[in-house]
Amino acid sequence: MKFYFYFLNFILNLLYSINRIFLTKIIDMKKKLLLIILAIGFFSIRFLFAQDKAVPEQYNRSALTYMLLDNGGKYSSDLKQAIEKVNIPEKFDDNNLSTRYFSSSESPKTIKSTIINNHYPNDIVAKWFDRKDDGTLDMTIIHKRGQYNATDQDALKAQASKLGMAKLKDAGQALVNNSHILVLSYKNIITMKEHYDKVDKRRRAIANKTKKKFKPVKRIKNGFMGDVTAYLYKIDFNDSIYGVLYDQLWIYDDDDAATKQKKKELFDKTQFPLKFVMKVNGKADGSQYNPGQILAPKVQKTRDELFQQLVSTGGESAIFMIERKYEPFRVKVPVYTRKPIGAKVGLKEGLKFDQRYFVLEYRMNDKNEMITKRRAVVRSKSVIDNRKMATGHSTETSKFYQVAGRRVDEGMLMQQRNDFGIGLSLGYASGEIGGITGKAEYNVSTLLWTFTGKLIRIKQLKLFAEFGSETKEYNTPILVGAEDISFTRYDVGISKGYYFARNFSLTLFGAYGMEAASHDDFIVNGEETDLSTIYLNFGASLTANLTYNVQLFGTLNMYSVGDILDDDGNTLTLSGNDATYTDIFQNREGASFSVGLRLEF
């Protein structure tokens, strides 16, 4: 507990020092904004003390069956053809059936009834037990999956027991109860051309309303895009169901012909229990860059391949959302090494580069109940290929770096906790270019790692878009006397973050943007106009965690501006020479400093 009060005191002292050096002007001009930012930040400190629910320590692989909900439509045949070729992610055991689609009205209850009436749970159980045409069952698949599911620790325990590796094979029986069916319903599928047409329609309407020049969207991609709604179901294969299977449905060698036939028919009629788990929504992308674009593939994909991509990304999007809510889909593994932080988890568990994990510790609460408390937050920086049977002797680990929390020790539990990779910031800047600022960031590290076939590994690589707004008084050569000018700026850029301590990071960035200056009396060649310039902004940002996903930041910006332009993009002239932005707005470039809050999602 003392740690957090020391940390809070440090943040207060840091803010006070920054204020004395850089922000006296901000306090005088924007007290209310800063007070709101600080109030939100310090209010978020309470989340540092929030207790997590008890998290089960054991993680077992789940098996997954993809099913397409086919209710006709323009692209029905494309989707049905695509679902036949889509693979289950490697994190899951593949329980796909020969039948990949069905029709049903779209409600969890009706879909469940359709699945049961079509005996899909029956077919999945038959796949687990490698059921033959004569109705006989065996444990081959269960034993293989049991061994593949085992960790090094499981293997060591098995080797030390009398049963040996047979113990791991038998452990596979528990995996049958982790059988899930993911029903995918694809909607609102449009071509990229239709998407661009919609964007242009909106832009044209805005241009007409604001009397601005219409600028069509750049049409850089082709293919398809759409939405997906996914329904997750689980086969409830508990101990009592196992009892029925072995007592009434399993065909033994010493059964007579009549008994064998009776058991075979009874299995065919059995309805294994099915539970609805949840419904999630996501996006599906079946597009590619046009020839000539930097990211265009060497060979353009066919229509069939694009629909296969659309169905695949829709399924992955749904799984991502489920993993955020459903504990059995969250990987859990103990910390194996502390310096560097390492764990025996990798491609077999679906680990991705720069993926987020919580580090948990078990505690007893005041009611003498076992709870888990978040100790730290880490992200992966290397991913091992562990897609093989555990031997108990491997020391290979994926490595992680810490982004929040306290010291991590061996044996603590790591829990997969997906994030969207999005950061939102709000602050205030002081300097020649200042005012209210806002930024939206997206961490592309995982995307880049995946896109390059796991070759490029750059942590905390982000693309961002930023805006700023302020009103400031200037004495310009095109107005009489000093006037308040309204400035609005937008930029896009790239940044690279470095976590040099558990709760502190440094980010370097570069951006390209445009600032517009507005005043009712800006007249050029007899017409009202807004003035603008193109600028570059380079700088660095220092962050300090208030909670694992809320940060206080201070940013140093260095702006370099260009010529001053009118609404048509023409450079203004003064005394026959091209005018720069600073010719009109004196000294409006150079350094500025901003502070504020940053939230991660």
Query: Does residue 28 have a pLDDT over 70?
Result: no
The residue whose two tokens read 């998290």 is 55
The neighbouring-strand residues paired with 594 are 429, 555
Neighbours of 265 (CB within 10 A): 11
- Considering only 248-252, 334-338, 453-457, 474-478, which range has the smallest mean pLDDT? 474-478
The neighbouring-strand residues paired with 533 are 515
Angle between helices 303-323 and 76-83 (to 10 degrees): 70
pLDDT in tens, 312-344: 999 999 999 999 999 999 999 999 999 999 999
pLDDT in tens, 572-598: 887 778 889 999 999 999 999 999 999
What pLDDT does residue 582 have?
Answer: 92
Sign of CA dihedral 357, 362, 364, 367: positive
List the chain domain ranges. Answer: 2-50+420-600, 63-323, 330-416
The neighbouring-strand residues paired with 511 are 493, 537
Neighbours of 357 (CB within 10 A): 27
Looking at every residue in the chain, the average pLDDT score rounds to: 90
Q: Which token pair is 364?
A: 């007893």
pLDDT in tens, 557-576: 999 999 998 877 888 887 77
pLDDT in tens, 400-416: 999 999 999 999 999 99
Q: Does domain 2-50+420-600 have CATH number 3.40.1440.10?
A: no
pLDDT tier at 23, thresholds 50, 70, 90: very low
Higher pLDDT, 249 or 27: 249
Cα separation, 504 vs 520, in Å, equals 45
pTM: 0.88
Query: Does residue 224 have a pLDDT over 90?
Result: yes
Query: Does residue 266 have a pLDDT over 70?
Result: yes
Cα separation, 154 vs 42, in Å, equals 44
What pLDDT does residue 575 have?
Answer: 75
Query: Does residue 247 have a pLDDT over 90?
Result: yes
What pLDDT does residue 163 have?
Answer: 62
pLDDT in tens, 167-207: 777 788 999 999 999 999 999 999 999 999 999 999 999 99
Q: 336 with 397: CB under 8 angstroms?
A: yes
Q: Which token pair is 567?
A: 């609404």
Neighbours of 533 (CB within 10 A): 24
What pLDDT does residue 38 have?
Answer: 53
CA nearest to 357, candidates 178, 548, 599, 551: 548
- Considering only 47-56, 281-290, 479-488, 511-520, which range has the smallest mean pLDDT? 47-56
Query: Does residue 14 have a pLDDT over 60?
Result: no
Q: 394 with 357: CB under 8 angstroms?
A: no
What pLDDT does residue 166 have?
Answer: 73
* C-alpha triplet 254, 260, 261: angle, nearest 5°: 160
User: How buried is 556 (Cβ within 10 angstroms: 0-12 exposed, 13-18 middle, 19+ buried)?
Assistant: middle
Strand intervals (E) in 70-129: 93-94, 101-102
